[in-house]
Amino acid sequence: MQECIDQKVYQAEVDNLPAAFEDGSINGGDRPGGSSLSIRTANPGNHVEIRAAYIGTTIIIRQTAGQLSFSIRVAEDVARAFSAEQDLQLCVGGCPPSQRLSRSERSRRGAITMDTAKQLCKEGLPVEDAYFHSCVFDVLISGDPNFTVAAQAALEDARAFLPDLEKLHLFPSDAGVPLSSGALLAPLVSGLFVLWLCIQ
């Protein structure tokens, strides 16, 4: 919305989650309505919220377990307003080599079994829904039990974003994909990023 705010760029990396846009500002500029875009931090270095009130959008970026995750709430008409050719990108350069997970069993950071991953995730996510299954996948593949925190944070973001809490828990049948220990690579894969797109 060029008549309301200046264009802003936010860039985050692991161990660098700034509480300001690239130009050092924390809002949309001096134009009328510029304050409808704001950035704030709830936990410096670990949690940043970007709010674009003029388009009903909130983005939460977190650093957890040595990885970045984000949750986004956006109105459906805004989400569908841009084509693939337009310059709206969340991840521009892909995952840095140091953040990629190898497909090799030998290079996994720790040997965590499916049962152990389920037990770890069950502690903070008692309902076996999409958040739980994504947690199991992340813990199992990474070998890092700290990924449970990212899944719990994604669920908390969804609680804050969803006006109808009956839609909070997404189950495998809701997505049309059966989940089993052999099918954890299904569309619920969160890998290095946990994305919650809440279309209103």
CATH of the domain at 43: 3.40.1000.10
Regarding whether 101 and 71 lie in a shared domain, the answer is no
Q: Domain span at residue 17?
A: 1-76
What's the pLDDT score for residue 66?
Answer: 79
Q: What is the DSSP string of the chain?
A: -TTT--------BTTB--SS-TTS-SBS-SSTTGGGEEEEEEETTTEEEEEEGGGTEEEEEEEETTEEEEEEEE-HHHHTS--TTSS--S-SS---GGGPPPS-GGG-SS---HHHHHHHHHHH--S-SHHHHHHHHHHHHH--TTHHHHHHHHHHHHHHH-S-GGGS---HHHHT----GGGTTSTT--TT----EEE-
Does residue 60 share a domain with residue 117?
no
pLDDT for 6 = 66
Residue 115, both tokens: 């049962």
The total number of structural domains in the chain stands at 2
Show pLDDT as tens, one digit a residue, over the chain (200 residues).
Answer: 456 666 788 888 888 999 999 999 998 877 777 788 899 998 888 999 999 888 889 999 999 877 888 888 888 888 777 776 665 555 555 666 666 666 554 445 567 889 999 999 999 998 888 889 889 988 888 888 988 998 888 888 888 888 777 777 766 654 444 433 333 322 233 332 333 333 32
Which of 33, 56, 76 terminates a domain? The answer is 76
**Whether 108 and 155 share a structural domain:** yes
